[in-house]
């Protein structure tokens, strides 16, 4: 199967089983079709599930190009690009470590997030977590490269993404090495902010740097196993309010890896919920 066939199959699965996130977003369909995901995936990546030997296997583009390309377009598979902040290399081969610290998100989640972000042409967007640069390329296709700022905390990851974005036959967005929790003040204010790393607490800098009426889309850690993709609208007094729109799983920003008490982060305790059941089903609400 060639890459074009993989793209079409991947899109069909996302359309059918993932809520039709291309629907109402023709720009997103066009970006997904026209920007090769394979261009942004390193030649060696870890598969995110253990093999029969208990190790996370490495998929190598040179050694097995068909297997590698199939992994690139598996709709629900994130490919691991960094473990233990780079202390373990894909060149080392399969590993037992699950200390994943960077990845290229699975196609289904990439599409889902951009559907909810819904950026408009010419809007200023800040992306937290450049990673491989794939998400930045899709965003730049929509808003224009000059309107997109993307920050990455890891210098080597940022440099690789910058190089990959610049060798494409398209204008490249601004890529900066910075701690995303602090946003990026020099290009603020922004119309929309998207984070590809999970937070426990919304950083104050994000609220300061997004315009009133602007949007923040980020995964937020929850006490329930999965993270929650959260869509917030910023008001004119430095607050934001919104909905938890989907269950996802993301790596955390480095400065928020240490777990904090859920109550301290505003989450209700389980005793704060009540369950009502009846012949037609049940509902669970905060009491």
Positions marked catalytic = 105
DSSP letters spanning 110-138: HHHHHHHH---TT--EEEE--TTSHHHHH
- For 266, the token pair is 């505003």
Q: What is residue 209's three-state secondary structure?
A: helix
**Distances from the Cα of 79 to the Cαs of 8, 69, 165, 176, 282, in angstroms?**
19, 11, 19, 23, 37
Residues 6 or more apart whose CB falls under 8 angstroms from that of 211 comprise 189, 190, 191, 234
Do 7 and 73 touch, CB atoms closer than 8 A?
Answer: yes
Cβ neighbours of residue 274 under 8 Å, at least 6 residues apart?
Answer: 284, 285, 286, 287
CA atoms within 13 Å, Cβ hemisphere of 208: 10
Other Cβ atoms within 10 Å of 46 Cβ, number: 25
Residue indicated by tokens 């004119």: 236
CA torsion angle 262 77 53 87 (round to 10): -70
C-alpha–C-alpha distance, residues 1 and 170, integer Å? 27
Residue 108 and residue 247: Cα distance in Å, rounded?
A: 12
């Amino acid at each position: 199967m060639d890459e074009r066939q993989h793209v079409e199959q991947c899109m069909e699965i996302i359309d059918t089983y993932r809520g039709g996130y291309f629907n109402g977003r023709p720009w997103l369909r066009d970006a997904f079709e026209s920007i090769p995901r394979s261009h942004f995936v390193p030649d060696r990546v870890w598969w995110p599930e253990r093999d029969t030997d208990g190790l996370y296997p490495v998929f190598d583009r040179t050694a097995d190009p068909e297997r590698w390309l199939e992994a690139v377009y598996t709709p629900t598979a994130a490919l691991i690009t960094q473990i233990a902040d780079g202390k373990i290399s894909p060149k080392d081969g399969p590993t037992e470590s699950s200390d994943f610290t960077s990845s290229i998100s699975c196609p289904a989640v990439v599409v889902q997030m951009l559907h909810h972000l819904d950026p408009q042409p010419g809007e200023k967007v800040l992306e937290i977590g450049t990673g491989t640069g794939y998400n930045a390329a899709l965003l730049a296709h929509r808003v224009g490269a000059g309107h997109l700022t993307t920050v990455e905390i890891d210098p080597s990851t940022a440099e690789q993404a910058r190089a990959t974005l610049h060798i494409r036959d398209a204008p490249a967005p601004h890529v900066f090495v910075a701690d995303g929790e602090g946003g990026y003040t020099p290009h603020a204010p922004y119309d929309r902010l998207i984070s590809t790393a999970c937070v426990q607490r919304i950083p104050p800098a994000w609220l300061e740097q997004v315009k009133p009426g602007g949007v923040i889309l980020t995964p937020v850690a929850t006490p329930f196993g999965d993270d929650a993709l959260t869509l917030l609208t910023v008001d004119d007094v430095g607050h934001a309010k919104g909905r938890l729109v989907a269950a996802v799983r993301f790596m955390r920003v480095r400065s928020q890896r240490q777990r904090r008490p859920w109550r301290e982060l505003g989450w209700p305790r389980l005793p704060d919920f009540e369950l009502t059941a009846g012949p037609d089903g049940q509902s669970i609400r905060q009491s």
